[in-house]
Structure 1
């Protein structure tokens, strides 16, 4: 496989790999490093790339596994998940502030979810993957993905209601 063929296959989903890495790791630098490492591994195994039914799912799985391994490593004791702020150039200032607060609050709540639910909600609701693709990436059954996603959404919804009601039920 030539370099251009490889780039044509991999470049369309490189940003998704980065967003997943950013969701799992602490900083943009860590996420960029993770994506570079995964791309390097994919390049080294480029001859086997045609054997994969879904190269994107394979790359996303590699990214997830690399990031989780990175979190488990001793050097990564300082890593935690963060999110960049949402911005809408057309919103009024008040709307923009409210949207930023709401999005920030949702992502803060997502941080409290169990790791598996966090990845599922990221892949489904942020990255817009189909259930079968998520199942392939995470090595789970689509039914288990749906259950975990439902529980994650319910936890986020309940936490938002609690925050917006200032803890008053």
Structure 2
């Protein structure tokens, strides 16, 4: 695979990779690094890319696995320290964003269990099919549907509570 073919194959979904990495890692800088690392790995294995039916799903799976590995690694404690340093400057920004409905939904999504968060991100934000999500998460479609249903229910209940009582 030539360089231009590679770019045309993997570049269209870079934003999806970033959003997934950002959802898992929280830090924008860490997410950018993760996407860069995934692209590097894709480039090194560019001969294998042609053998995959869905390159985008493969890249999303790589991104998910890489990000989860980062969180499990020794550097995860460093990531938490970095995030705690930024919390004070982001509090005002987060309060302003919470006034926006979309930001509120993403805030609620952050409270979901990891599996539900990933399924909701992949299905409702990234628009993947259930079969693709099941393959990415190495699960079955029924489990994906159940996780999505539970995630949506939790988000819906949190939104109703927020709008009815004005507190979260």
| Counterpart position of 2:71 | 71
Is residue 2:139 matched to residue 1:161? no
2:50 match: secondary structure: helix
Q: Which runs of 5+ in 2 are unaligned?
A: 84-95
Is contact 2:105–2:159 with CA below 8 Å preserved after alignment? yes
| Counterpart position of 1:94 | none
Is residue 2:66 matched to residue 1:105? no
CA RMSD of aligned residues (A): 2.1
Aligned ranges for residues 18-167 of structure 1 at < 5 Å? 18-77=18-77, 78-79=79-80, 100-166=99-165
Distance in 2 separating the partners of 1:10 and 1:126: 19
Is contact 2:98–2:107 with CA below 8 Å preserved after alignment? no
TM-score normalized by structure 2?
A: 0.84
Distance in 2 separating the partners of 1:43 and 1:76: 26
Distance in 1 separating the partners of 2:133 and 2:139: 8
Distance in 1 separating the partners of 2:119 and 2:154: 13
Q: Tell me the CA shift for residue 15 of structure 1.
A: 1.2
Q: Tell me the CA shift for residue 167 of structure 1.
A: 7.5
Count, aligned residues: 153
Misfit runs of 4+, over 3 Å: 97-100
Is contact 2:98–2:104 with CA below 8 Å preserved after alignment? no
> Per-residue displacement from partner, 1:3-60 (whole Å, max 9, x unpaired)?
1111111011111111111111122211110001011111111111111111111100
Relative to total residues, which structure has the larger helix share, 1 or 2?
2
Structure 1 stretch displaced more, 71-80 or 27-36: 71-80
TM-score normalized by structure 1?
A: 0.83
Distance in 2 separating the partners of 1:99 and 1:167: 12
2:7 match: secondary structure: helix
